[in-house]
Amino acid sequence: MNSKLLKRTLRDGMKADLIVKNIGILLTPKVTKGPIKGKDMDCVETYQDAFLAVKGGKFIDFGEHDFSSLIDENTEMVDAGGKLVTPGLVDSHTHVVHGGSREYEFEQKMRGVPYLDILKAGGGIHSTVKMTQEISKEGLYQQSKKSLDFMLGFGVTTVEGKSGYGLELETELKQLEVQKELHENHPVDIVPTFMGAHALPKIYEADRRSFLDKVIGMFDEVKKRNLAEFVDIFCEDGAFSVEDSRYLLDAAKNYGFKLKIHADEVVALGGVPLAVELKAHSADHLMAINDEGLEALANSDVIANLLPSTSFYLNSTYAPARKMIERGLALALSSDYNPGSSPSENFLFTLNIAAIHLKMSPNEILTAATYNAAYGIDRADEVGRIAKSYKADFVIYDALNWPYVLYHFAINHVKDVYKMGVKVIDNKRKIWEV
Ligand code: NIG
Ligand code: FE
């Protein structure tokens, strides 16, 4: 958490530090217990002509009732101008900290070379590993900061971020340290994941187990320096098998890490039942999920984290979101921002794609991009909804309703972004004055 934000928010007494009034529509997911599943994702609390009140960086009240008792001469009053307000968006699967970019592989991809073939030939993730190893810590910080600035501009106030572009201790730690510094200095909160098993270095091809042991050997340092909460692995053809994933995730669990898994992105190997068995917080991608995977998730609280920007960018299949909702799964949506399969920080565009290709309703999308996303990164008790004692992270849009934001696509409709009650983005752009 950014310490400058915290300082701004301390004041004695019962009165609000900030009141946002004249909110045309205020939306927040309808929460009961646990993640929001199946058809419940379509129920969102809606307040009209509403207000919200903040004190000490947290919401203290909101709704349609009279708020005059919360005001004194020090309360800052903001007029939302009848516009739409939602909780700050939560992007719960990103690879935000990485060196360089891969535009030179883009043409290959456009000519139809499959993602996994580029990886097999030593490109893809391996190219970014090289660039991340070579970039200075300062260079990595600046590149990642720029991405976080973009994300914040699209209304994202909390992200998950993974390592995995080092595949050796020094660079994995460099990524995680940069991420920790950004978490402390930037308004966006970052929930850190260690993903040392993101790809198998060529020299370990004949001996995968010793690479996994090497990654497990890094746990100690990561834990000691408090650099990650979660451990993730790429369970996929051409990356790591289900047995490999079980071996690594079991060890991670014993170390006290929480778990995530990249599963069924291209092939349904069996990573999803494994995620359920090990009580992972989320199983991510799921484009190729089969009936066994759906059944396993339906009987669990594991979040199905869908990343439709990746399907869009790889021109591949989309996760069967409607089927998942019918089966009662709890869905989140994330950008998967990374330099290979989803090089865009525009989370609102991810949500546009969810509407068009996943055929999710506006309410389902809001639930998936706020509360359920927070649930998958173990933050459901502090962000992802407008509720008393939650962090006062919220977005004021230059739009009158949420369906409009999803319909008018690929445009940034965000007007102002508040993190812990402090305005951190003001997107009022001056074009020119005559
Ligand atoms: O989530 N699939 C594995 N990892 C990333 C892609 C990483 C890359 O191509 O650099 C993903 O899609
Ligand atoms: Fe990913």
pLDDT tens digits for range 98-151 = 999 999 999 898 899 998 899 888 899 999 999 999 999 999 999 999 999 999
Res 8 pLDDT > 60 = no
Closest-lying ligand 1 atom to the alpha carbon of residue 234: 3
pLDDT at residue number 428: 67
- Tracing tokens 């408090």 back to the chain, one arrives at 226
What b-and-e string marks burial along 94-127, b requiring 16 or more CB atoms within 10 Å of the CB? bbbbbbbebeebeeebeeeeebbebbeeebbbbb
User: Distance, CA 154 to ligand 1 centroid (Å)?
Assistant: 22
Instruction: Say how many CA atoms lie within 13 Å of 43 toward its Cβ.
Output: 8
Nearest C-alpha to atom 2 of ligand 1 is from which residue?
Answer: 234
Q: Among 125, 132, 264, 285, name the best residue to mutate to test ligand 1's pocket (greatest count of ligand atoms within 8 A of Cβ).
A: 125
Res 228 pLDDT > 60 = yes
Q: Is residue 264 part of a domain?
A: yes
pLDDT at residue number 434: 62
- Helices 125-134 and 169-185 cross at an angle (nearest 10°) of 70
The domain that holds 137 is classified in CATH as 3.20.20.140
Nearest C-alpha to atom 8 of ligand 1 is from which residue?
Answer: 340
CA dist 434 and 431 (Å) reads 10
Q: Among 93, 232, 262, 307, name the best residue to mutate to test ligand 1's pocket (greatest count of ligand atoms within 8 A of Cβ).
A: 262
CA dist 51 and 72 (Å) reads 16
pLDDT at residue number 121: 87
Strands (E), 199-316: 230-235, 258-263, 282-285, 303-306
Q: Based on the fold, state whether residues 53 and 112 are members of the same structural domain.
A: no
Q: Are 296 and 279 in contact (CB under 8 A)?
A: no
Q: Based on the fold, state whether residues 351 and 404 are members of the same structural domain.
A: no
pLDDT at residue number 14: 83
User: Distance, CA 263 to ligand 2 centroid (Å)?
Assistant: 10
Mean residue pLDDT of the chain comes to: 95
Q: Is residue 432 part of a domain?
A: no
First to last CA, the chain: 42
Q: Report the run of H or E that residue 323 belongs to, with start and end.
A: helix 321-326
Q: Is residue 107 part of a domain?
A: yes
Find the domain containing 28 and state its range: 3-88+385-426
- Of 337, 354, 376, the last residue of a domain is 376
Closest CA to 297 of 319, 332, 327, 257: 327
pLDDT tens digits for range 361-420 = 999 999 999 999 999 999 999 999 999 999 999 999 999 999 999 999 999 999 999 999
Q: Is residue 116 part of a domain?
A: yes
Taking a 5 Å cut-off on Cβ, the residues next to ion ligand 2 are 336
Closest-lying ligand 1 atom to the alpha carbon of residue 284: 1
Q: Based on the fold, state whether residues 100 and 60 are members of the same structural domain.
A: no
- Tracing tokens 């060529």 back to the chain, one arrives at 202
pLDDT at residue number 153: 97
Q: Based on the fold, state whether residues 54 and 202 are members of the same structural domain.
A: no
Nearest C-alpha to atom 3 of ligand 1 is from which residue?
Answer: 234
Q: Is residue 434 part of a domain?
A: no
Q: Are strands 282-285 and 258-263 parallel, antiparallel or unpaired?
A: parallel
Q: Which ligand is nearest to the CA of 310?
A: 1
Q: Based on the fold, state whether residues 403 and 362 are members of the same structural domain.
A: no
Q: Based on the fold, state whether residues 172 and 296 are members of the same structural domain.
A: yes
Closest-lying ligand 1 atom to the alpha carbon of residue 125: 10
Number of domains in the chain: 2
User: Distance, CA 234 to ligand 2 centroid (Å)?
Assistant: 8
pLDDT at residue number 7: 55
User: Distance, CA 78 to ligand 2 centroid (Å)?
Assistant: 38
The domain that holds 48 is classified in CATH as 2.30.40.10
CA dist 149 and 345 (Å) reads 9
Q: Which ligand is nearest to the CA of 342?
A: 1
User: Distance, CA 197 to ligand 1 centroid (Å)?
Assistant: 12
Q: Any residues with Cβ below 6 Å from ligand 1, and which? A: 95, 124-125, 128, 234, 262, 265, 310, 336, 338-341
Q: Based on the fold, state whether residues 27 and 147 are members of the same structural domain.
A: no
Which residues contact residue 15 at a Cβ distance below 8 angstroms, ignoring those fewer than 6 apart?
55, 70, 71, 72, 74, 75
Closest-lying ligand 1 atom to the alpha carbon of residue 102: 10
What does the pLDDT average to over 12-28? Answer: 93
Closest CA to 424 of 93, 15, 57: 57
Torsion of the alpha carbons at 130, 132, 136 and 138, rounded to the nearest 10: 170
- Percent of the chain whose predicted confidence (pLDDT) is above 90: 91
- Tracing tokens 């451990």 back to the chain, one arrives at 231
Q: Based on the fold, state whether residues 189 and 286 are members of the same structural domain.
A: yes
Q: Among 103, 341, 342, name the best residue to mutate to test ligand 1's pocket (greatest count of ligand atoms within 8 A of Cβ).
A: 341
Q: Report the run of H or E that residue 215 belongs to, with start and end.
A: helix 208-224
CA dist 285 and 265 (Å) reads 5
CA 299 to chain centre: 24
Closest-lying ligand 1 atom to the alpha carbon of residue 310: 12
Indicate the pLDDT class of residue 306, thresholds 50, 70 and 90. very high
Q: Is residue 433 part of a domain?
A: no
Q: Which ligand is nearest to the CA of 124?
A: 1
pLDDT at residue number 71: 97
Which residue(s) pair with 78 in the sheet? 20
Q: Based on the fold, state whether residues 105 and 235 are members of the same structural domain.
A: yes
pLDDT tens digits for range 174-185 = 999 999 999 999
Q: Based on the fold, state whether residues 165 and 196 are members of the same structural domain.
A: yes
pLDDT at residue number 1: 66
- Tracing tokens 């340290």 back to the chain, one arrives at 177
Q: Based on the fold, state whether residues 57 and 8 are members of the same structural domain.
A: yes
Q: Among 117, 282, 316, 338, name the best residue to mutate to test ligand 1's pocket (greatest count of ligand atoms within 8 A of Cβ).
A: 338
The full length of the chain comes to 434
Closest-lying ligand 1 atom to the alpha carbon of residue 265: 2
pLDDT tens digits for range 322-369 = 999 999 999 999 999 999 999 999 999 999 999 999 999 999 999 999
Q: Is residue 431 part of a domain?
A: no
Q: Based on the fold, state whether residues 356 and 395 are members of the same structural domain.
A: no
Q: Are 34 and 51 in contact (CB under 8 A)?
A: no
